[in-house]
Structure formats: structure tokens, C-alpha cells
Amino acid sequence: MPRPLRLQPPPQRVPRRRCAPPANARTEEQFDTTSAEERSAAAAAPAAAERKLGSTVASLGDPTDPGFWLETPLVSSVTKGRVVYPVNGKSAQVELRPIEGPASGGSRISLPAMRLIGAPLTDLPTLTVYAGGATG
């Protein structure tokens, strides 16, 4: 007999100070509401030790959800981390957010993070994911 599906509430998200894009946003620049300072901080090298979680194929997440984040089955709770795009070596510090699925399942990445690492928005890039390493 199949097991009943157990629905879980969405994960708690860390409150954000960032503003959402305007309702009439149409271009990636209009949807990306991060500041130059936020982009610089996200591109900075990690200041602490980090642990490799693995690789994931990522698609573009909700472009109206501001900030630098990756929704991934590689974590079980919200944590700081970093993603690396091996094609060019660029990385971004992100908030890792848990989603349901096997560790081999896909992930969703924020528009600002995808732009920062230089991955084409219409591609499904394979990213290397690390936990920890956040700057102070």
C-alpha cells in the first residue's frame, strides 16, 4: 500500500531588507534589485572554512524574489554558502534554502546570483555548492 503524501510547510526564510522588483519589471536589470555593494559582498572570497556539498543542476528561480540564494535539496536548513560556476570559475555567496527532493535533484538559483556567476539565464548550469564560508 502506498504511503500517504505528507505535506510540510515551506521552510522558514531569513527576513530580507532588499526590495522586490517593480510590478512592471520586464528586463533582467529591472528584476535585479541588488546594489553594487551587495554584488561586491556576494562576489567576495569566503572568510571562513567551507564544506563542499556537491554539484547540482540549477535553473533560474523566481526572479521576483530578491537577493542571492539557491534553493537546493543539498541542505536541510537555511544556511550560508557559496556556488561556483566551473565553466568560468566565478562564484557567489548565497543563502542556501532547503527544498524537497533527492540530493541528485535540481536546484533553483536567484537572478542576481546567476548574473554574478556569469551563467546564461536560459541554461541549466551545473554548479558546485559549498556550505559555510560567509564573510563577516
State how far the Cα of 42 lies from the Cα of 116, in Å rounded to an integer: 8
pLDDT in tens, 48-61: 789 999 999 999 99
State how far the Cα of 85 lies from the Cα of 24, in Å rounded to an integer: 30
- Number of Cβ within a 10 Å radius of residue 60: 20
pLDDT in tens, 92-115: 999 999 999 998 889 999 999 999
How many residues in total does the chain contain?
136
pLDDT (average), residues 22-45: 80
Pairing of strands 107-109, 79-85: unpaired
Q: Taking the CA of residue 37 as centre, how many other CA atoms within 13 Å lie in the half-sphere pointing to its CB? A: 1
Per-residue model confidence (pLDDT) at position 29: 79
The C-alpha R_g of the chain, in whole angstroms, comes to: 15
Q: Are 109 and 118 in contact (CB under 8 A)?
A: no
What is the model's pTM? 0.76
